[in-house]
Structure 1
Amino acid sequence: MTKERLKNVGITPEVWKELKLMTIEHDCTMTEAVADLLKIAREQKENDRAAKPAGRTRKKPGDEPG
Structure 2
Amino acid sequence: MAQDSSASKTVATNRRRGRTKFTDDQLKILINAFNQKPYPGYATKQKLALEINTEESRIQ
Ranked by relative contact order (alpha carbons within 8 Å, sequence separation 6 or more), the top structure is 2
Q: Which has the larger radius of gyration?
A: 1
TM-score normalised over the length of structure 1: 0.30
Instruction: Flag the structure with higher helix content.
Output: 1
